[in-house]
Amino acid sequence: MVKRVGSEELDRLFDEGSEEFDQYVDWAHSYSADDPLQELSVPLPDSVVDIIDREADKQGRSRVELMRRWLEDRARGLQQ
């Protein structure tokens, strides 16, 4: 898991060109600004959304961030 840091500290590390910066970035889940994003709408039962929300809270992520991570991991696994 990637270490957590506040935005001001991350900005400082980046601006200084610090080698510590990489420990706060999960490069395996990064994507290029040239890679366009598409919106996706997926109807889910309330019980599933509750599970996703609880897991997102545990990980300190938003619902969207958690689902994006899960879907990216699954899709990349299918490519291998």
The model's pLDDT over 18-54, given as tens digits with 9 standing for 90+, comes to 888 888 777 776 766 677 888 889 999 999 999 999 9
pLDDT for the residue numbered 1: 58
At residue 45, φ and ψ (nearest 5 deg) are -65, 150
pTM (2 d.p.): 0.58
pLDDT for the residue numbered 29: 67
**H, E, C per residue of 14-65:** HHHCCHHHHHHCCHHHCCCCCCCCCCCCCCCCHHHHHHHHHHHHHHCCCHHH
CB 26 within 8 Å of CB 5: no
CATH numeric code, 33-80 = 1.10.1220
pLDDT confidence of 2, banded at 50, 70, 90? low
> Which runs of E-coded beta strand occur in the chain?
none
The token pair that represents 25 in the structure block: 């970035």
Domain boundaries of the chain, sorted by first residue: 1-30, 33-80
